[in-house]
Amino acid sequence: MANIKKNDNVKVISGAFKGKTGTVISVKAGKVTVKDVNVCKRHEKPSQTNQAGGIIEKEMPIDISNVMLLEGNTPVRTRIVREKGKKGVRTSVKTGKAV
């Protein structure tokens, strides 16, 4: 189970975009799409959603293992802490605070 969810702030910890931070747009099958990270230019034909067509810039997914969740400005590891009769909460391993 991945501890990264949509709208989380993350930092890229390895790869070509190491050091960049951003907000998670989507999480699918071990890949995350982060705003303003791994931006590629795509040639698209005109369609109903994009009537002009042309060259657009689009964020492409990167592997989920290459990002870490941010708590404030520091990347942290997380774990799920369950209380009796309640759903688990993501907490920081270092500080023990809920993220």
Domain ranges within the chain, ordered by starting residue = 9-70
C-alpha–C-alpha distance, residues 66 and 90, integer Å: 19
9-70: in CATH 2.40.160.40: no
Neighbours of 6 (CB within 10 A): 11
Confidence (pLDDT) at 50: 87
SS3 44: strand
Backbone angles phi, psi at 16, to 5 degrees: -65, -25
Residue 94 has pLDDT above 70, yes or no: yes
Confidence (pLDDT) at 4: 93
Residue 2 has pLDDT above 70, yes or no: no
Confidence (pLDDT) at 25: 97
Question: What would the pLDDT profile of 63-84 be if each residue is shown by its tens digit?
Answer: 999 999 999 899 999 999 988 8
Tell me the pTM: 0.83
Question: What would the pLDDT profile of 11-42 be if each residue is shown by its tens digit?
Answer: 999 999 999 999 999 999 999 999 999 999 99
